Amino acid sequence: MPSCQEAAGLMMRWQQPHVIGGEVRTCPGCGVYQDWIVFCLRDDSIWLRCRAGHETKEPGLDAVWYCRNSGPVDRFHPTLEEGLRGARRWRPHLGH
């Protein structure tokens, strides 16, 4: 698995529900469960931000997860193959 340090400081749109460990994440501030912005910070922590601007640290995720799941629309992914695989898993309509 690549170190993915290059992912630090990036962010991506995450419009579908966020399922982590079999549970759908909801915003503790307003209860929404989709349309997130996902931030990857320099300390490898992942933060979720909802449409209303509430930010929540997500301890179940890290930069490696970010790399694996950021799709080809993002500027960085470890390899093209990796990016495409992530996109197909999470965004099936982009998988052609």
Q: Which residues bind Zn ion (CB under 5 A)?
A: 27, 29-30, 50, 52, 54
- Identify the burial level of 87 via C-beta atoms within 10 angstroms of its C-beta, where 0-12 means exposed, 13-18 middle and 19 or more buried: buried
Cβ nearer to Zn ion, comparing 55 with 94: 55
Cβ nearer to Zn ion, comparing 31 with 60: 31
Shortest gap between Cβ of 69 and Zn ion (angstroms)? 21
SS3 48: strand
Cβ nearer to Zn ion, comparing 54 with 91: 54
The separation between CA 76 and the C-alpha centre of its own chain, rounded to angstroms, equals 13
Shortest gap between Cβ of 5 and Zn ion (angstroms)? 29
Shortest gap between Cβ of 30 and Zn ion (angstroms)? 3
Give the Cα separation of 9 and 26 in Å (integer): 23
